[in-house]
Structure 1
Amino acid sequence: MGRLDKKVALITGTGGGQGREAALRFAREGAIVVGCDTNEKENTATAELLAKEGYVLYGNAPVDLGDPDQARAWVEAAAAEHGQIDILYNNASAARFAPVHEMSVEDWQFTIRNEVDLLFYTTRHAWKFLAETKGIIINVSSTAAWGGSKIAGISAHAAAKGAVVSFTRQLAVEGAASGIRAVSLSPGFVATPGTAEFMNNPETRAALLDGVLLDRPGKPEEVVAMALFLASSEASFITGSDIVIDGGLLAI
């Protein structure tokens, strides 16, 4: 038996990076994985990777979780098909970057929509199902929630990820009576297809790794390993916490 045997895990952003890794790792631990992504092609590629190992990626794509109706439909379809929801892993996000004095209102609102609003929508609709199973909500924040960056342009992202940490704490308070746990993860810079552009620019890479004690970017599997632990019964006394996975960036 795996650590998540027969648990139904809803994972957002399964089209790549940490979401793809989470789908694979959670399935290997016995979970029924329901995914979604805005990118149908990449989500299908994740489904094919799971199928090669004998697993199924349920759910569908494209799904825009920033649309409350699409978020509700995705959550309720998962509950109807599988009869329960044990884990909600809010991994998906999208942001736009610009110095604060140059950022457009549209780009600010895009970032808040796709890094904060979508967590509310999925959580709101999954709540009653998580209460039935005494489940867990795992929200992905960032070290941007905890400190500024020398790289200009992350004001909207930092505001959004700070909101994720605070939102998670309140979920833990409100969920305690029903047995719902809520935890957030704050990764530092992680090497994914989405960050390849930054990785391939020596100047940007150096700036992003400035202050990282381990002097390298993180890997998706290093973040997902913590999420997997938190979703398991081994972490049953952990709620309301934000767990930093940053190679020592915030230690200084």
Structure 2
Amino acid sequence: MKLEGKVALVTGGSQGIGQAIAIRLAQAGAAVVINYRSNPDGAKQTLSQVEAAGSRGLVVQADLASVEDIRRLVKESVAHFGTVDILVNNAGVEKNADFWTVSEEDYDTVLDTNLKGVFFATQTFVQHLIEAKRPGKIVNISSVHEELPFPHFTSYCASKGGLKMMTRNLAIELAPFNITINNVAPGAIETPINTKLLNDPEKLNALLANIPLKRLGQPRDVAGAVLFLASTDADYITGTTLFVDGGLLWNYQEQ
């Protein structure tokens, strides 16, 4: 098993992509810390599936917009399992609004979770690795919108664009410690965040017309990419983005 003996921390692991990642890493042999912010039932469901895969799991509540919570999350993870080898920065939010009506509160919610949260979760994880003199792997869940404009979601695009540059910069800074960092950038994935889209045939068909593979992605599609980057198969890959989008990025036309 590719990750046997490893411990992975997955933020936002109570549903959707994060849940699929936690389960896939467990199936590959990793013990998994399942972080959630406000969905304890979903986190418990993830835990049961991690355990059903034959792996150990731990559920930890923490708000990734809070640096204090982030530090507690990593501390509890290390205390429980002895170490953490893999960090998957999956937790994220988006807010739909015309640029000229975006509130400071909504802007802060998006940037604090999607960029500040990833920054300090990564920092705390790296501090642990350096102190323990261990190598490690960081996989960020970005988005095609680190490259692709998304009108009415400017704060979200800014957060993912910032994440792209953060990843490239840290790839250089962390390489001397044998720590790699990469992004997985999903396109349109069938998750709870897209419920409205899935129930609107006109919008769904317009989106599918932009996807060369003519289907929405599934959480398992993203989870497989994360597993690859978290494994020794990707030891020589750092500072890059792996797009999981069915070809959407290079075929998209705003309607």
TM-score of the superposition, structure 1-length normalised?
Answer: 0.94
> Aligned Cα RMSD in Å?
1.4
- The AA in structure 2 aligned to 1:148 is P
Q: Is the 8 A contact 1:23 1:57 kept in 2?
A: no
- The AA in structure 2 aligned to 1:45 is Q
- The AA in structure 2 aligned to 1:145 is E
- The AA in structure 2 aligned to 1:64 is D
Deviates more, 1:50-59 or 1:183-192: 50-59
Residue matched to 1:241: 240
Residue matched to 1:164: 163
Q: Is the 8 A contact 2:26 2:54 kept in 1?
A: no
Matches within 5 A, 1:178-193: 178-193=177-192
Residue matched to 1:208: 207
Corresponding position: 1:120 with 2:119: yes
Residue matched to 1:143: 144
TM-score of the superposition, structure 2-length normalised?
Answer: 0.93
User: Gaps spanning 5+ residues in structure 1: where?
Assistant: none
Q: Is the 8 A contact 2:145 2:161 kept in 1?
A: yes
CA distance in 2, matches of 1:190, 1:236: 27
Q: How far does residue 85 in structure 1 lie from its aligned partner after superposition?
A: 1.6
Q: How far does residue 11 in structure 1 lie from its aligned partner after superposition?
A: 0.6
SS at match of 1:173: helix
Number of corresponding residues: 248
CA distance in 1, matches of 2:18, 2:69: 19
User: Gaps spanning 5+ residues in structure 2: where?
Assistant: none
Residue matched to 2:134: 133
Q: Is the 8 A contact 1:168 1:184 kept in 2?
A: yes
Q: How far does residue 209 in structure 1 lie from its aligned partner after superposition?
A: 3.1
Q: Is the 8 A contact 2:44 2:59 kept in 1?
A: no
SS at match of 2:183: strand
Residue matched to 2:59: 59
SS at match of 2:9: strand
Q: How far does residue 210 in structure 1 lie from its aligned partner after superposition?
A: 4.1
Q: Deviations over 1:225-251 (max 9, x none)?
A: 011011111111100101111111123
Deviates more, 1:99-108 or 1:230-239: 99-108
SS at match of 2:33: strand
SS at match of 1:80: helix
CA distance in 2, matches of 1:130, 1:214: 40
Corresponding position: 1:15 with 2:14: yes
CA distance in 2, matches of 1:53, 1:188: 27
Q: Is the 8 A contact 1:130 1:136 kept in 2?
A: no
Deviates more, 1:134-143 or 1:188-197: 188-197
